Amino acid sequence: MCNKTSPILIRMIKHKRLAYKIPFKLEVVKYAKEHGNRAAERHFGPPPTEKMIRQWRKQEDQMQKADKSKHTFRGHAAKWPQMDIAMKEWITKQRNKGFAVSTKMIIYEAKRIALEKGIHDFTGSPSWCYRFMKRCGLAMRTKTRTAQKMPEEYESKILSFHKFVIDARKRNGFEIGQIGNMDEVPLTFDVPSNRTVDRKGAKTIAVKTSGHEKTHYTVVLSCCADGTKLPPMLIFKRKTFPKEVIPRGVVVHVHEKGWMDENGMRVWVEKVWSKRPGGLLKKPALLVLDQFRAHISETTKKCFKEVKTHLAVIPGGLTSQLQPLDVSINKPFKIFMREEWNKWMAAGNHDLTPTGRMKRPTITQVCEWVKTSWHSVKEEIVVRSFKKCGISNALDGNEDGILHEDSEESDVSDCEQLSSTNSDSSSDEFLGFTED
């Protein structure tokens, strides 16, 4: 009969590896120097074992010089130490200027430095960023959110909305590409983050801006259930049309308060909605809107009727459940916008006013940010969001399981977005490295 221990049993009885901080190791070393390694093993362990104590005695000089709060000599040494030095200097420089530093920005800069230094095997993966931050004592801090429970009376309103949409689809036979959603997103010329990479233990975390975080404008986003993203429309707070160059693929409108109104809706219908794929043919369409008064005024309804568009108006208080843009799409868009702003701030060489204040980004720059950010939102997130809201699901009911599922897309995994753009979401602007 074989007396060998089963491999399964070996795995079961294997001890969990323990971690020891430097003060404890030095105490063991001191005892071992006075009484011997075996005596130290009997006194403090095992573990630590005699073999471990011998190793600690060899490392005594290094431990005396190291940070006493850490578990030293854990993990692998940096493969590119010159990269760590350059990146830590860059982060320190950015933070001293007050700029927010995201994990995405770290990866972008690291790739640039690698190219400059001829490091061809550097990929700049999120895991490298995590290890780099850990080696250099850097951390990300995030706010927590309080979960909100939906009032019970809303459930009947959701069912009524779904029934209205299903009945309209059966009655009119809308193509999936002719089912849309439109929403206004208020933004400011400065898009600062409340998170940044910084050294652990820092008491004051300041983020520099150009001073225009209260100067607002409105971005009108719209998309269709097949993943089509329509050109964004920007509404600026002014009375005259800007003389700056407007990038192709962006519509600009002006309003004295920078808001949407009936005239703005007319412009959007003419320049965006009517020019969607199928719009020139006036294919029957269904557009999901919230209850904002400019969306559902008689003048606006007349505009939609002329282009054969039926409206599905979301009941008050339920846009977080029934509006695709709110559920999963606006968040990644805002993350990408913040990333564009961070790049602009970090680039430096900004124009100044006669009093020495930094000028705000130009309308051309803002339009480019919006265009780039909207393009970066993945089409599959758009498709999924419509289904999660119960708007474009298969009419035979086999996709009903998608309704109101927990939103992975709405939290936007930055790592996913990073790989999809061969960069970095936004999530996340940040890759999810947090300090609890």
Whether residues 87 and 56 fall in one domain: no
Average pLDDT over residues 172-185: 95
Per-residue confidence (pLDDT) for residue 418, from 0 to 100: 31
- How many other C-beta atoms are found inside a 10 Å radius of the C-beta of residue 279? 19
Mean pLDDT in residue range 332-350: 80
Query: What CATH number is given to the structural domain containing 134?
Result: 1.10.10
pLDDT of residue 423: 35
Which domain range does residue 132 map to?
Answer: 81-138
Residue 258 — very low, low, confident or very high, per pLDDT cuts 50/70/90? confident
Confidence of residue 2 (pLDDT cuts 50, 70, 90): very low
Clarify whether residues 52 and 88 are in a common domain: no
User: Quick one: 200 exposed, middle or buried, by C-beta within 10 A (0-12, 13-18, 19+)?
Assistant: exposed
- Is residue 192 one of the residues assigned to a domain? yes
Is residue 175 over pLDDT 60? yes
Please tell me the total count of domains within the chain.
3
Q: Is pLDDT larger for residue 53 or for residue 417?
A: 53
Residue 285 forms part of a structural domain = yes
| Band (428; pLDDT cuts 50, 70, 90) | very low
Average pLDDT over residues 146-158: 68
Instruction: List the structure tokens of 70.
Output: 């850490």
* pLDDT classification of 357: cutoffs 50, 70, 90: low
Task: Looking at the structure, tell me whether residues 107 and 215 fall in a common domain.
Answer: no
One domain for residues 32 and 126: no
The rounded percent of the chain whose pLDDT value lies above 90 is: 39
Whether pLDDT at 417 is above 70: no
Q: Is a pLDDT exceeding 60 seen at residue 11?
A: no
For residue 155, name the pLDDT band (cuts at 50, 70, 90).
confident
Q: What is the pLDDT of residue 133?
A: 86
Q: Find, among 71, 65, 87, the residue nearest to 25 by Cα.
A: 71
Cis peptide bond N-terminal to 47, omega within 30: yes
Residue 421 pLDDT: 33
Domain with 391 in it: what CATH number?
A: 3.30.420.10
What pLDDT was estimated at residue 337?
87
pLDDT in tens, 196-248: 554 555 544 444 444 444 568 999 999 999 999 999 999 998 889 989 999 99
The predicted structure's pLDDT at residue 399:
76
Does the pLDDT value for residue 283 go beyond 80?
Answer: yes
Do the domain assignments include residue 414? no
The confidence score (pLDDT) of residue 234 equals 95
Q: Are residues 174 and 280 in the same domain?
A: yes
Choose the weakest-confidence range: 78-87, 95-104, 344-353. 344-353
